[in-house]
Structure 1
Amino acid sequence: MTVRPIVISGDPVLHRRAEPVSEVDDGIRSLVEDMYETQTAARGVGLAAPQIGVGLRIFTWDMRNSDGVPTVGHVINPFVRFSKPPAGAPDRHEESEGCLSVPGYSFPLRRGERAEVTGTDVDGNEVSFTATGWFARCMQHEYDHLNGFLYVDRLDERWGRKARKAVKAEGWGVPGHSWMPGVDRDPFGHDDVDPDEVDPDDVDPDDVAAADERPDETPSARG
């Protein structure tokens, strides 16, 4: 297993539709293992193959859920059908997302509360489940990656303008940018937390599971 660099907004592979996997061979199996390794090193809740420069329809996840779905999993050639997002503006404190390919930022985005996921795994087994809440958000986020969209492409006018300014200020939006999980400083600030300063009695287990989703104490699906 190998940790791979994560490409950043502007790399062409992130902005085009990924190709279906035609055959699951040893190369695909190794790719999925590398995705798990990279996702863990990046402290992400999800990762799509295009984010490591591979334009194939695969994504992984590592996220607790209340839907009876394994915390860690993957799906090949997925189809995700999701409910319509509720009307109204997103709440910046409760509906913010982040993305490993727009590292260090989070912006509010309204998503559907339910997502039906189908596909297969590396052993040819059927994958089929319904995700709700934040797990549904994660599934939609990763599926977007396979269709050439980043979450920032779906922001409303106000937040989309802020996201574009951030991308421009970082010098992204063009090919050639990436970061290396486990080597580069964590862009979401996890490296800045001193575990010796954390009182275990003050930690909610659910917050630990969702730490990668809550920069600045706001929910944020990150993949």
Structure 2
Amino acid sequence: MTITWDGPQGKILPVLTAPDTVLSTVGDEVDPADPAVVQLAADLVATMRVSPGCVGLAAPQVGVGAQLFAVDVTGHPKAATTHGAFVLCNAKIIEASRWKAGREGCMSVPDLTGDVKRAGRVVVAATLPGSGEEVTVTTDAFEARALQHEIDHCAGKLFLDRVAGAHAIYQRKVYL
């Protein structure tokens, strides 16, 4: 079974930044067979691919209160397991273990990073846009962190909601 995205071409969408209210609203479950959901999935992949350093993008980040997100950690130095570029609908974490803190950033919080404790191994149940096929994704390391980060977006949470406190938030470094 493959989960790699092979849907239509998408268009590039603007990414919202905090404190936009869509980012703090729980997204609605989606019908994976709905053509609008399939198009939004394509748009998320297209927007993610043109955004430097982006490894995931959720529907709320482009102004849509929906439980849909794209992930691709391919080539990232912290990635161990990778499933390529994929999009999941209505994802739920069904197992989580090996918790540890790690630094996170987000396109919707462009000036900050923070230390967030997340599971280093997760099992996620979801459906694929288009086919509606039910899948279970088992992954670890950086891809597990990315999945949890995007699932949080769909639940109206930012990484800042998960940091231990102000001491764990940092100004993002700017490289010239």
Match of 1:73 in 2: 86
Structure with the larger helix share: 1
Structure with the larger strand share: 2
In structure 2, stretches of 5+ residues that fail to align are: 1-9
1:31-78 Cα offsets, whole Å, 9 max, x none, are 1111011111113100110000000100111113543x5211011111
Is contact 1:108–1:159 with CA below 8 Å preserved after alignment?
Answer: no
Match of 2:31 in 1: 22
Is contact 1:103–1:188 with CA below 8 Å preserved after alignment?
Answer: no
Match of 1:220 in 2: none
Choose the corresponding residue for 1:54, options 48, 64, 73.
64
Is contact 2:16–2:63 with CA below 8 Å preserved after alignment?
Answer: yes
In structure 1, stretches of 5+ residues that fail to align are: 167-186, 193-223
- Cα distance in 2 for partners of 1:126, 1:155 equals 32
Match of 2:40 in 1: 31
1:145 and 2:153 aligned: yes
- Counterpart residue identity of residue 101, structure 1: S
> TM-score, length-normalised on structure 2?
0.81
1:83-109 Cα offsets, whole Å, 9 max, x none, are 2634xxx4xxxx210001001321222
- Cα distance in 2 for partners of 1:58, 1:42 equals 18
- Counterpart residue identity of residue 133, structure 2: N
- Counterpart residue identity of residue 147, structure 1: A
Larger Rg: 1
Q: How does 1:62-211 map to 2 (within 5 A)?
A: 62-64=72-74, 65-67=79-81, 69-81=82-94, 82-83=96-97, 85-86=99-100, 90=101, 95-122=102-129, 123-159=131-167, 162=169, 192=176
Match of 1:218 in 2: none
Match of 1:206 in 2: none
Is contact 1:48–1:142 with CA below 8 Å preserved after alignment?
Answer: yes
SS at match of 2:137: strand
RMSD: 2.1
> Deviation at 1:134?
1.1
Q: How many residues matched?
A: 160
